[in-house]
Structure 1
Amino acid sequence: MRWILFVVVLLLTACGQNNEEIELPTRNFENRVGTVFTSLPKDILAAPTVEIIELQKSGNLDAIWGASGRDDAGNIYFGVSSHGGVYGSSFLYQYNPVTKQVSPQGETVRELKKNNVYREGTRQNKLHSKIYQANDGYLYFSSFDESGEAEDINPVWGGHLWRKLPDSESWEHVMSTEEALIAVNTNGRYVYALGYWNHVIYQYDTKTGTTARVVSGSVKMHVSRNFIVDEVGHVYVPSLSDIDSDIIKVSLKEYDTQLNTVAEYPLPSYQEENINNHHGIVGYTSMKNGDIYFTTSDGGLYLISPFKDKKQKIKYIGMMHPDGSAYIASLFTIDGEELLVGIGKRKNYEWIVYETTLDKSYTTKLEVDHLKGLSLFGSVTKSNNGDMYVVGRHKTENSYQPILLKINKKDSYK
């Protein structure tokens, strides 16, 4: 087993003059972080209702790898990935919670051709990232290809950052990268994408149209499935490096909007006998005051308080599940104040409630046993009425199929 070296907090001053531009928000906070706050249900501990949103079955499409999001009007978006098919593509869909209609929103390889960036044989079989609306009105998301990837070798066809308007099925190409782009996040103005290998952060400034890049660092074939962006546009990315054959240095790096390193913080739970099996940061959610909670794939729960000084900014709370390690990839808050809820798995899938003021958690079994081979890959997405949307895949008679679940607690709101 490889031992993890926990990095002590390093307070680093950004090199040169800090030219960060702070601007007043043009949209409400809930829209900027892609969520909605509602009143608490009467019985928060009771298992919620789980509804399956019907999707068209396909022999080529097999999963929604956490790719979900919403627009300011409350429409839900999800990206469906494939492993087979004629040319290995991925697809974007919209679900309207009012009409209950699912409508196609474009297909990756076709959009490469329409944007004149297609090369013969190009594949983009995964649309993996969260989907966010930014201050310019566009929805941002990313795609990538897996073929040919190996340790220290990028996939043959790399990744792409995209944007589209909510009322249009046409995509606009923002950038191409050598790395696979696995995650997207934003504060409204700055859109960031995480590339692998080596945890490369790309920044797109929606105001100026400029791009920037910084390498946070990783080891072997380890990649975090998500990363964090706070309200002012600072980015928090896991950084890993080898000390020797048995020790890994691991920390959470904070970058400002100029991609200067602000600080590094310890990640005590970030460990795995095989680090390639660790999914890094998986779940996260924003509170009303701007605080951000996130989970690592081992079940560790952390708090980022962006407006506190560096010594108090990052707090490791411990395991979110009362029984220890669990994979909690979907994290939500209902009221944005004191309660977190997660959809996670230890032995079975559970509704996990964490009281932030009491540092106490409770679990209730989620009624999903009828879904064979179910795997849920994480979401932060809520509709206007407070329903939570969780994505993944399940096994049918002949193959895996993508699945979209609506998690409903609204019937018991106070």
Structure 2
Amino acid sequence: MTVFQLPVEVATFRHWLADLARRIPPGGGWYGVFAERDPEGLRACFAGTEILPWDIVESLLQDAGEADGGPFALRGRTLYAAATGAHDRRPGAAGALTERRALMERERRYAESRARELGALLRVTPAPGPDDTARLEHDLAWARDDHTRATARVADLTARLARLGERGEGATAPEPPPAKARRRPRGARYAWLDGAAEDQGPVAAPAPVPVPVLPAGGAAPRGARFGGAPQSAGAAPGGADPAALSEADAVEAGRAAANAVYALQRLRAQGRSGEAYALLCEALNGPPARLPALAGELHRAGLGADWSILLWEAASLPPGRLAAVAGVLADAGRPADCDQLLRQGVARPVEELAGACAALRAEGHHREVRALLTAFVRVRAPEDAARLAAEDPRGLTPQLLEAARAVSAARERDLLHALRVAGLAGT
């Protein structure tokens, strides 16, 4: 039997980390947050199979009351540099670091966008209630923390890759012979893809286990939050009718939803939140018409929070696909979900929102256009509304004025002024 032995540098840093953990008072603090968010990842880092990101180490030092420039912390920094160097000399490490850096860069952009949107919501008129304000401020603080951590990790991973390049160790490992050509992926993660997915290229053969094949902890999710993946051929564009499901398709949508919820329950129970999140993102890559079935299954299983996560990710979809998902939800009798999706999408660039409005109108979803524009004028500046109107003056100017009038007389006056300045008041 082969026994895996940690490099001495990694083992030494692991012992220092264990010493740090013993200095942390029990209960609460950042340690408690990380243990709740990613217990498996934290265990792997304390076991030495992964390296704990330095921003987390700094938070644990704060928990322990150790000064960042003190002798204990400085020794930890030295040991961390040696451990990452040894860890990154493993075969295939350069490819893993490159993938993780791309993931962290997308996390950074997402957190930045999230913070901007929450800041806009805090400036909303009329002002939200005290509970809403507290919740938004709480979410904004977390978004800023996520942005700070992602920025730090991008810098750290970039430095580690640079060190590999200086030693000439940056080559990508050859593809394993562990791969099958042109085999269609199976399992709940891929239940949203149709037959066209068979041409996606080599994929690993599925393991014969009841839990569907899902990405490992280091794999990068490909959902809307991380820049989106190419749509499958079965995904309907904005101008099609994505809500039209045949009886057989409806049965298949129900089966896919049940499989996905089963997988989510298993993953949540095991604390594998990253893989659960990746599975939710994959749902957005398939036919939008399957989403209402997934919504129903999630709520029946008590996983309504996962449906909220999926709606948040959908708000970052390309304009045509955003409109397709909103239209499907409206047609399926889920107007509240549709409105929530559109409200979350109003932080996007005005050019994209104009495209979403056009796609919704083309499908006859005029109520949804009104909901989107009302949410827009409620949280965005009048100058932004004027820029949106300029994308389609004849179609959007009267609708934006109607939406502003529904919000308040003051908002309508502000918008009229902005339209005049932009030369659109007489449109």
Band of TM-score, shorter chain:
under 0.3
Which one has the largest radius of gyration?
Answer: 2
- TM norm structure 1: 0.24
Higher relative CO (CA 8 A, sep ≥ 6), structure 1 or 2?
1
- TM norm structure 2: 0.24
Q: Which has the higher strand share?
A: 1
